[in-house]
Amino acid sequence: MSILYQILIPTVVGALVGGLTNILAIKMLFHPFTAIYIGKWRLPFTPGLIPKRREEIADRLGKMVIDHLLTADVLRKKFQDPELIRQLTQVFLDKLQRKTAGSDKIIDFFVSGQGETKQKLRTNFCDTGQCLMETFFSKYREAPLSALFSPDVLIRLEGKVPDVSALLLNDLKAYLESDAGRRLVGQAITDFIGQQGFIGEMVLKIAGKNTVSRHFVPGVTDMLESPVLKQGLTDWITVELRRFWEQPISQSLLPCGSSSAATNFLRKTVIPGFFDQLTGLTWAELPPALQRSLRDDWIPRITARGAAYLAGHVHDLLDVLNLEQLVSQQVRTFSLSELEAMIFSISKKELKMIARLGYLLGGIIGLLQGIVLLLF
């Protein structure tokens, strides 16, 4: 019986010592969180390993992330990944589809909030518009209108003049052939002949007002179909267009000659009205052609170019984000109790195995000690 005790007692003691030592070692990774003092003497191994090396761990983690995890090459390859670009594009397209199917206003996408925020944006919008107009008039006041456009613009405009002439003549003819046009022409002819004195009054009495109008209008409408008249009108419009095209902007766009008056008018009337129209516009009210352009062209192109830009400026992005400092700050501010709970929840099974291994190794060592003591 004494032999059994000589072997069993060292085994049990060794198992308890090994297991409890491992449990204590695991606890001492975090506990205590702060140093414990007895008078001026600090108790050894306080605070725990991780709280004591917290600053060093934070710095090492930040450096490890930037040197080995989120490196410039890793981010560059990610931004260049076609699958990422496709997913981002699809996210934006889905968001556009939800917007156009709802009643959200476009302005709400750019402004979060109401009242003062929108009023401030409205004021800034008007001020910016006025500043741009003042800069424009200051720079181009004495320049001809042609300086604002490429030469082919005038060529294209002149190419449309014959169509404009034909449209004007056709509309005038249609109006003269209408009842309102006939009455207007008849009244004008009657007034003109009536102003010619006694002879005019005699003509009206003999021929009659309706007869004069009925015979005069067909002649005018036939004249409007004359190729000579159409060509003459085309030539006149072309000459006036060229003259207007070469006029200084101060005369063509500023008839009053005052840029300040024009900018004040734009600032107080046109620009605020334009802004108010924009603020009331919903995504669903966008023209279908513009929605198709956004969906098929703008969003895919902007997404691809944005990803390409980020890929080409990864180092600048990392410098701005300063991930090393960001990670270090987050580790420093992270609660030790939460960090302990997170690590234990992740490695709970492994830590239990370490404790059990301590019991096992301690028991084996105790058993060997008991056998050695029994033999010698």
In the chain, domain spans: 144-247
Torsion of CA 79, 85, 90, 92, to 10 degrees: 50
Q: How far apart (Å, rounded) are the C-alpha atoms in residues 119 and 113?
A: 11
Highest mean pLDDT among 233-237, 245-249, 268-272: 233-237
pLDDT in tens, 47-88: 877 788 878 878 887 888 888 888 888 889 999 999 999 999
d(CA 129, CA 364): 86
Question: What is the tens place of the pLDDT at every residue in 123-133?
Answer: 787 778 777 77
What percent helix, strand, coil does the chain show, rounded to 5?
80, 0, 15
Sign of the CA dihedral with 142 first, then 257, 265, and 253 last: negative
CB atoms within 10 A of CB 336: 16
Q: Is the model's pTM score more than 0.85?
A: no
Q: By mean pLDDT, which of 7-16, 166-175, 312-321, 331-340 is the weakest?
A: 331-340
H or E stretch including 11? helix 2-27
**Mean pLDDT score of the chain, rounded to an integer?**
79
Place of tokens 């404009």: 164
Residue 14 — pLDDT band, cuts 50, 70, 90? confident
With CA atoms as reference, report the closest residue to 329 among 337, 319, 321: 321
* Half-sphere exposure of residue 36: CA atoms within 13 angstroms, side-chain side: 9
* Predicted confidence (pLDDT) per residue in 302-324, tens digit: 999 999 999 888 888 888 888 88
User: For residue 47, how many other CB atoms are within 10 A of its CB?
Assistant: 20
Q: Which has more pLDDT, 38 or 265?
A: 38
